[in-house]
Every structure is written in structure tokens, then in C-alpha cells.
Structure 1
Amino acid sequence: MKLFIKHHQQNKEHFSIAIIDLDYFKKVNDTYGHLVGDEVLKGFASLVKELKGAEEIACRYGGEEFVILMPRTTKKEAFIFIEKLRTSMEKKTFTANGTSFHVTFSSGIAEATSTNLHPKKMLEEADQALYTAKQLGRNQTIIFDNVAAVEKRKVKIKIVVIDDVYIIRDLITNHFKHLEENDDYRIETLSFPDGISFLESNWYDPACKYIILLDWILPQMDGIEVLSR
């Protein structure tokens, strides 16, 4: 990757990367078993090998994530290639225990520019684009340049859970963490063991809307006093 960045610096050659994440891959493992999950990974890798050119480099990034390096490729050209790969993967059929199923993926793309000429920075931008693709419903490709516009139009919602019993606090927090976001909302979940730590934290953002769930009985300060403050 550093070599491609160097070529971009010296020769102004285009260079793009994509991070790909197989959608709901854990569900595949949980439903069909890890051996079938391995077959899905191999099937995806074979598809990449079949569709990519001689210059593109694909590697496993961890778990069900992959990175594709695309030298001499603009972000628009990268988008066309990744979308071709995505639609091909979407149509690919896998079979387990007599049942057929399909697996999709989400992807984020970043192109080398004067402001991101470092492997870590480019990966961060591609990862942000991937995150946006997943928040918009998955099974799609987002270019990093479009992330700001997508995030700007979303309403930010913070769900705050205040409870001194950690089991209940974690149970409620984890429930809301699994809420699916859409084109209109971006959800963040915060939790606190008591009202004092909540009020002393940097929790408030005037650009956000809030849902605050708190226990009636809390140490040092009860729920009504927390609400009043």
C-alpha cells in the first residue's frame, strides 16, 4: 500500500482502496455452522479472483472483512468495479443442509488525495464509508467523499440509560445498540451508573435529540432530581 501511495506522490497516479464487510456473517455461522461460513468466505474470495484485474490486490483484513487495493484507479472506477462485485455476490447461491441462501456485502471506498497519504488514514476513510453503508441498510457501496453529506442529513439521537444495577444497564443498552438505523436517523447509546456521573459528563449536544431512561431510585441522587437538573 505504501508503494502505491509513493507512486501517487511521484507520478500523480490514481490509487483507491475498498474495505468490504460481508453482511450479517455471524448469522451465517450461527445458522449453518462455521464450516459453511468458511465456504462462504472461500466463495467470496473466488469471486474476487475471477472479477479483479491483474493489478488489483485483495487480502483478508480480519474476520469477514477484506481490503482491495486498486492502483491506477479513480474512486469512480473503483465504485464501478466494487458494485459489479457486489451484485455478483448478491446473486451467488450457497447451500447448507439442503437449504439455499445468499450473502451480500457492504463496502467503503477511499481514493488517495493530498490529505490522506498514509495507509492508516486511507483505511480510516474507507472504514468510515463502510460504516455509513452499513448504517444506510447494508448491501451497498459508499465513497468516502459522500459520507459527510449522508451524515449531515441524519437526525442524531442519543439514548441515555442511567441505572446503578449493571446487569439491567447493560441489558437495556445492548438492546438499543441493535436498533437498525436508516436514512433519517443516527443512533448513539450512552450508559451511566448514577445521575452524578451522567450530569458531570460531556453528554449534551444541542444538535441531538434525546431519549433518557433512568431508574427511579439511584445512589446519592434519585431519578426525579436528575430530571430536574
Structure 2
Amino acid sequence: MFETELIVAFVQAAGTMALTALAFGIIIRTAFSPVQKSMIIGVLFSFAAIFAMLTPVEFAPGIIIDGRGIMVGLGAAFGGIPAAIIVSMSTGAARLYIGGNGAIAGTVGILLAAALGLIWMKMSACNKRPKFQHLLFGGAFISLQFFAVYLLPIELANKLVMSVYPILLPAYITSAVVLGTLIERERKLIESARKLEAAANTDALTGLMNRRGLEISIASTQQNSGKVDSVVVFDLDHFKSVNDKYGHEGGDQALVSFATILKLNARETDVAVRIGGEEFALFLRDTTAKQAATITKRILQSVRTTPIHSNGRSFPVTVSAGVSQFWAKDTAYWQAIREADQALYQAKNNGRDQMVQATDLVAA
């Protein structure tokens, strides 16, 4: 009778695990920081573990058996250290509150489950890509927390191990495989969605952000406390002639070469974009037009001294540039691009291979 009740309890826990996996997928899709996600995962698995304790199987007065151990262990494994702390502390507190003869042993088992989950995470890197054999091992490894029952009288502990562990071990292994597989499925779906999103927002030839990606980036950019930003718009000079003389492969190589130079000169906070065709833009955070001009001159010089190699031939290219600055708090990105674009065309009219600032147009 006891064995049947125990099996039913673990089967019921499987439903909780499925819901937990779905909630886990929602959490890792959010824009929270890794630490925040870990803490939320800790809360999630805490609820799952405490819920498991609401329908326990009583082995003896004050001695309850349920699925909390695997919930705590997997919460620590898939959530990391912050999750391990939260799930072990909250579940341990709940077990002490329930009380009974097994309260101390049960609480120690909870702490041990969290520790074993963390160790398993380090051993198998299950927080990244848990393989089937790692999941099998993880379930068996976390089940060792059950041996905290030896804090009870030895005869009672031996009886518990002989009666419960043969059922608990396969239940833990099955739980680890099921929950780990569900979580891995969620991760793969998220990774696929992110790859598709990145592909849609990235220029395939140069690897820079494209115009669509720029629009999304601008829409999601928060105000920058009134600091000055700058934008530089670039255009490869005589690009049609390059295509005509060296073919589209030569033209593509020129675009890739310039994109590489942009990346090398962009800081981590800057955004390099291929707007379309031979036109590029570089958004410079917390940068005045004067500072942007210095960066732009360096880029133009680098382009002049970097020959393009295609089909066994080498040829030079140059670029023209227009610079505009704006107050970030106004988020006037598109207006700044238009002003920089006007300055760019003035640079081309002035003879190309040079830079013009939008303020020079106003002054003129």
C-alpha cells in the first residue's frame, strides 16, 4: 500500500514538472539579467518543491516522503547558485514549519539536494546542454540526498532506505530526464527564434546590423540622460565604377572590407549599420561631433591605406562621410541621420574622400 501511494505521488509530481518546465521557458525568454533569472527560477522551483510537500506519503509519524528533493536539486542545477540558495532556504524553511520527527533530516536532505544539483551542474555542464546520459546520472546523483535519513535512528533509517530508495531512485532519474528534456526543448526553441531574429536584423554580407535592426534598436533604446550622441553616415566613393571594373565580387569585397574597418573603430557601446547598398552609418554613444570627427578621420585614413583584394587583383577605395550630433534625450535619430546624409552629399560635391559636419552646412 505504501509503495503504491509513493508511486502515485511521484506520478503526480510529473505534472508539476511539466508546468515548471513551461514556466522555466518563459523566464529564460525575458530580458532580465542572468542573476535575476536565476533568482526567479529559484522561486519557481521553490513553489514546485513546496507544492510536492503538500501531498506527501507518510512513512511513519512525522516522516514524510515526497518529490521535493528532485525539485530542489534540479532547481539548483538549472538555475545556478542564486536559485540554489533560494530554493534550498525556502523549501527547508517550509519543511521545518511542517515539523515532525523527520524535520531535521528532511531539511538537511533539502540542503544536500541543492548542493548535489550544483555539483552535477559543474560536472556535466547541464546548465548549457544536458545530454541524456548526463540527465540519467544527475537524477541518480541528486537521489543521494535521501541518505540524510541516517540522521534518524539507524533502524528507522535502514528501513526507509530499503523500502523507499528502490522506488525513489528510478523516480529521480525519470524526473531528471523528463524535466531536463523539456527544458532543453525550450532552450532550443528560444535559440532558434533568436537566430531567426538575428538573421532578420543582420546584413548577410557584412555581418553588420541592417536597417530593420537599426529601427528595432532605436525603438528599444532608452533615453540617455541628456548626453550628446553623434551619427556618421558613410558612402563608398564611385562604387558603381568599382562594380563595373572589378565585378560584383570585387564590390562585395570592398563592402566587407569597409564593414571590418567600421567594426574595428566602433566601441562596445557604438552601433555600426549597413543602411543599404554602399551606404553605412555609425552611431557613437556619448560622443560630440568634434570627437566623432576625430574617429571619422581615422576611419577614412584606414580605408585609404587598406587595398581591396579580389580575384588576384588589388585596388584602392575611398569613402565620404557626414557627421551630425544630437541630444540623446530627444532620441532624434532619424533627424540626425538626415542631417548627416546632407553633410555626406556635400562631402561628395566637395570632391569625395573627405568628411563634412552638419554644423558646417548650417554655418554656410
Bin of the TM-score, shorter chain as denominator length? 0.5 to 0.7
Q: Which amino acid aligns with 2:223?
A: K
Cα deviations across residues 40-65 of structure 1 (Å, max 9, x unaligned)? 11111111112221111101001000
Among 242, 247, 271, the residue aligned to 1:33:
247
Q: What residue is the counterpart of 2:228 in the other structure?
A: 14
Structure 2 gaps of 5+ residues are 1-217
Q: Does 1:144 align with 2:361?
A: no
Q: Does 1:124 align with 2:341?
A: no
Structure with the larger helix share: 2
Scaled by the length of structure 1, the TM-score of the pair is 0.59
| Structure 1 residue matching 2:268: 3-state secondary structure | coil
| Structure 2 residue matching 1:54: 3-state secondary structure | coil
Cα deviations across residues 12-31 of structure 1 (Å, max 9, x unaligned)? 21100011000001110000
Deviation at 1:36, TM superposition (A): 1.2
Matches within 5 A, 1:45-194: 45-113=259-327, 117-149=331-363, 152=364
Please tell me whether the aligned partners of residues 227 and 327 of structure 2 are also in contact (alpha carbons under 8 angstroms): no
Distance in structure 1 (CA, Å) of the matches to 2:222 and 2:317: 32
Distance in structure 2 (CA, Å) of the matches to 1:127 and 1:93: 26
Please tell me whether the aligned partners of residues 48 and 85 of structure 1 are also in contact (alpha carbons under 8 angstroms): yes
Distance in structure 1 (CA, Å) of the matches to 2:353 and 2:284: 21
Q: What residue is the counterpart of 1:168 in the other structure?
A: none
Please say which structure displays the higher CA radius of gyration: 2
Q: Which amino acid aligns with 1:108?
A: G
Q: Which runs of 4+ in 1 moved over 2 A?
A: 1-6, 95-100, 116-120
Q: How many residues align?
A: 147
Distance in structure 2 (CA, Å) of the matches to 1:72 and 1:85: 19
Scaled by the length of structure 2, the TM-score of the pair is 0.38
Please tell me whether the aligned partners of residues 2 and 119 of structure 1 are also in contact (alpha carbons under 8 angstroms): no
Distance in structure 2 (CA, Å) of the matches to 1:13 and 1:5: 12
Deviation at 1:34, TM superposition (A): 0.3
Relative contact order higher in (CA < 8 Å, ≥ 6 apart)? 1
Change in Cα spacing, 1:90 to 1:59, as seen in structure 2 (3 Å) is: same
Distance in structure 1 (CA, Å) of the matches to 2:347 and 2:222: 25
Change in Cα spacing, 1:57 to 1:117, as seen in structure 2 (3 Å) is: closer
Distance in structure 2 (CA, Å) of the matches to 1:137 and 1:59: 24
Cα deviations across residues 97-148 of structure 1 (Å, max 9, x unaligned)? 543211000000110049x752221111111110111110010111100013
Counting aligned pairs with the same residue, the percent is 35
Please tell me whether the aligned partners of residues 75 and 110 of structure 1 are also in contact (alpha carbons under 8 angstroms): yes
Please tell me whether the aligned partners of residues 321 and 344 of structure 2 are also in contact (alpha carbons under 8 angstroms): yes
RMSD: 2.1
Distance in structure 2 (CA, Å) of the matches to 1:47 and 1:109: 17
Please tell me whether the aligned partners of residues 289 and 357 of structure 2 are also in contact (alpha carbons under 8 angstroms): yes
Q: Which amino acid aligns with 1:128?
A: Q
Cα deviations across residues 153-173 of structure 1 (Å, max 9, x unaligned)? xxxxxxxxxxxxxxxxxxxxx
| Structure 1 residue matching 2:337: 3-state secondary structure | helix
Distance in structure 2 (CA, Å) of the matches to 1:21 and 1:55: 22
Please tell me whether the aligned partners of residues 274 and 281 of structure 2 are also in contact (alpha carbons under 8 angstroms): yes
Q: What residue is the counterpart of 2:120 in the other structure?
A: none
Q: Which amino acid aligns with 1:90?
A: R
